[in-house]
Amino acid sequence: MSKRLVAANAWISSDSRYAAEALSYAGFDSVTVDLQHGMFGIDTAVSLLQAISAGPAVPMVRCSRLDGAEIGKLLDAGAYGIICPSIDDAEQCRDFVGACRYPPVGTRSFGPSRGLLYGGPDYVDHANDSVLTWAMIESRSALDNLDEIAAVEGLDGIYIGPNDLAMSLGERPGGAMPESVREAIRRAVQVARARGIFVGAFCGGEDAAADMVDCGMDLVTPGNDISFLRDAANRRLSVIRRLTTLVSDASGY
Ligand code: 3PY
Ligand code: MG
């Protein structure tokens, strides 16, 4: 069986530089720092990017919102891809892509700071071509405007946020994927293919990620660092608990 080329993306929600570095060395193609829902602010995001770039994975960030100043700072700090949450129409998408590109293409201000160290002295010459722009599709409005969003010049990919998308469609987030979200994902894959851009998705775990690979995703995120830790802890504990009782139960505390 021939295998498709699909990028595996790790996702950092904790403020641990050590975990970020370990995931960069773990074999993921990219590691994304989640500044929207991660438990840290922008200063920590910068040091997480430093930790990721100690290893071989491509450092990316999910910014907290569509904010050119924040996006510029994250790129200056060495992010090579930005995933922007809640892109609901083509105008927002144009603002987002523009914030990631130097003039005359976009509006990014010059001051590449760590980008120069990490990307090399010619960083400014290739930044517009090498920084990946991913617009998050996670609402009913985004679905209504999907064709126009995907057609924005310079957009590299769309990235599905299945939980916010589920809520926007009147479903519950987490758990089994509702049919309405699955249908939206099938359409997003078709639209991305037709436009020649990438399509990726956040996934609840490895099974959901495998499912999304089958659906045609080019990039999948199989959960975040804390879910990796929790899953591994639960797996190991359940092996031990099959053979033992809780010390606190036995001692009557
Ligand atoms: C979503 O599922 O809405 C996300 O943003 C995943 O991080
Ligand atoms: Mg979301």
pLDDT tens string, the chain, 253 residues long: the values are: 678 899 999 999 999 999 999 999 999 999 999 999 999 999 999 999 999 999 999 999 999 999 999 999 999 999 999 999 999 999 999 999 999 999 999 999 999 999 888 889 999 999 999 999 999 999 999 999 999 999 999 999 999 999 999 999 999 999 899 999 999 999 999 999 999 999 999 999 999 999 999 999 999 999 999 999 999 999 999 999 988 877 767 666 5
Alpha-carbon dihedral 60, 66, 69, 75, rounded to 10 degrees:
10
Ligand 1 neighbour 163 (Cβ under 6 A)? yes
For residue 192, the cross-strand partners are none
What gap in Å lies between CA 60 and CA 78, rounded to an integer? 8
Amino acid type, 5: L
Domain boundary assignment for the chain: 7-251
Looking at residue 1, its pLDDT comes to 62
Which atom number of ligand 1 is nearest to the Cα of residue 136?
A: 5
Q: Crossing angle, helix 179-195 and helix 206-215, to 10 degrees?
A: 50
Ligand 1 neighbour 64 (Cβ under 6 A)? no
The answer to whether 37 is a known catalytic residue is yes
How many angstroms does the Cα of residue 161 sit away from the middle of ligand 2? 5
φ/ψ of residue 146, rounded to 5: -60, -45
Q: What is the pTM of this model?
A: 0.95
Strand pairing report for 81-84 and 30-34 = unpaired
Looking at residue 18, its pLDDT comes to 98
What gap in Å lies between CA 209 and CA 223, rounded to an integer? 9
User: What CATH number matches the domain at 7-251, 3.40.50.970, 3.40.50.2000, 3.20.20.60, 3.30.70.1900?
Assistant: 3.20.20.60
Looking at residue 124, its pLDDT comes to 94
11, 22, 35, 37: which is the annotated catalytic residue? 37
CA angle 241, 247, 250 (to 5 degrees): 105
Nearest ligand atom owner, CA of 162:
1
- Total residue count of the chain as it appears in this document: 253
Strand pairing report for 58-62 and 81-84 = parallel
For residue 197, the cross-strand partners are none
Helix, strand, or coil (residue 7)? strand
User: Of 12, 164, 212, 220, which is best to mutate to test ligand 1, by the most ligand atoms within 8 angstroms of its C-beta?
Assistant: 164
Q: Whose CA is nearest to atom 5 of ligand 1?
A: 161
Token pair recorded at residue 79? 């992010």
Neighbouring CB atoms inside 10 A of 123's CB total 18
Ligand 1 neighbour 162 (Cβ under 6 A)? yes
